[in-house]
Amino acid sequence: MSSDLDPRVVLTLDAGGTNLKFSAIRGNRLLFTPIYIPSHAHDLDRCLANIVAGFQQTQDRLGNAQADPAVAISFAFPGPADYPAGIIGDLRNLPGFRGGVALGPMLEDRFGLPVFINNDGNLFAYGEARAGFLPHVNALLEAAGNPKRYRSLFGVTLGTGLGGGVVVDGRLLVGDNSSGGEANLLRHKLAPRTNAEEGACIRAVRHVYAREAGMSTEDVPEPRIIADIARGNAPGRRPAAAEAFWHLGEVVGDVLAQALTLLDGAAVVGGGLAAAADLFMPAVIRALRDVFPAHGGYGEQPRLGPRAFDVDDPAQARAFVARDARTLRVPGSGREVVYDPSLRAPVGLTRLGTSEAVAVGAYAFALERLDG
């Protein structure tokens, strides 16, 4: 059964350093407005108490709405963690967690439900694969009469940090150490001794703006203001603002190229910085379409085997869905087959919104685990 039609209810949480966001989902849709409770990131006991209180309030709302009881709890929580065991390790944005905290088993004891935990990057990618970007891409192809379909997706979230997740042939890649999809530890294209997160997050945008504008980082505005400066809608150093987002796009584009070289699928971008996609997505596509220079007797080689297309750009979307079909005669017979030699990688923005995609991913992940 498609998770769009599944009648089961799952309680979800998106945990951050400031707030805990609780939801209940059925059929890939929120049943009511999410509940927000402070994280109390530095105080483990208060944080754990608020997590229990948030799930209890969510469960109470289900009863008040006369909805079916929940069958599981499934949510996003930062790592490092042993996600299958439900144990959370030492966290940067929730520093109260130290030395290993058995969060999953605690919630199982409290609510009598199976508990599934993963990181937000993984669940974002899974949500977009099940009910967001991947179905959107395949619908574009179907509408154009193109038989090609995509089942693998790499997702990144651009915000306080760089998150990532991988879906292979419709299944979420968790990894043997619960570390699948850790995009933040890929190499930084423009600073090879640095990890990619340092070029693909909020602090990266602020750092480049400060450098280009000759300012102290402490005096730099938040990225949404820098984006307005780059668009000419706010006072400031416009060339520096434009460079900050172009720099972001180059790094993100190379992150996608590294991942898609191995995955060979589609790529989706989410997170708070996705609101400035008009400023950085051209750089993303340019990086994906870059070439390696001629070397060792070979001519230029493409950075990525498939050609990347921004499917949120109407012209690129039309080029993406267009077929390059050729009829070939099978040697030794009169039979003919159709061949399309074009390799293509669709790239675009979240269709669900980042937070909802995480919740939908948590829902789908729980149902997959419950169904074996």
Q: pLDDT tens digits for 237-286?
A: 999 999 999 999 999 999 999 999 999 999 999 999 999 999 999 999 99
What class has domain 133-351?
alpha beta
Provide Rg for the chain, Cα atoms. 22
**What count of other Cβ atoms lies within 10 Å of the Cβ of residue 199?**
25
pLDDT tier, 334 (very low <50, low <70, confident <90, very high otherwise):
confident
pLDDT tens digits, residue range 309-325? 999 999 999 999 998 88
Q: Give residue 4's pLDDT.
A: 74
Mean pLDDT of 341-357: 95
pLDDT tens digits, residue range 118-146? 999 999 999 999 999 999 999 999 999 99
Predicted confidence (pLDDT) at residue 192 exceeds the cutoff of 80: yes
Spans of all domains in the chain: 9-119, 133-351
What gap in Å lies between CA 133 and CA 135, rounded to an integer? 6
27-to-8, 9, 11, 106, 233 alpha-carbon distances in Å: 7, 8, 12, 27, 41
254-to-193, 209, 216, 289, 303 alpha-carbon distances in Å: 15, 20, 28, 10, 9
pTM for this model (two decimals): 0.93
Amino acid symbol at 369: R
Q: How many CA atoms lie within 13 A of 156 on its CB side?
A: 34
pLDDT tier, 335 (very low <50, low <70, confident <90, very high otherwise):
very high
Mean pLDDT of 157-180: 92
Mean pLDDT over the full length of the chain? 93
Predicted confidence (pLDDT) at residue 31 exceeds the cutoff of 60: yes
What gap in Å lies between CA 56 and CA 22, rounded to an integer? 10
Predicted confidence (pLDDT) at residue 54 exceeds the cutoff of 70: yes
Cis amide prior to 80 (ω within 30 degrees):
yes
pLDDT tens digits, residue range 289-311? 999 988 877 788 999 999 999 99
Domains 9-119 and 133-351 in one fold: yes
What gap in Å lies between CA 194 and CA 130, rounded to an integer? 33
Predicted confidence (pLDDT) at residue 68 exceeds the cutoff of 90: no
Mean pLDDT of 1-11: 82
Q: Give residue 43's pLDDT.
A: 93
CATH fold for the domain made of 9-119: Nucleotidyltransferase; domain 5 (3.30.420)
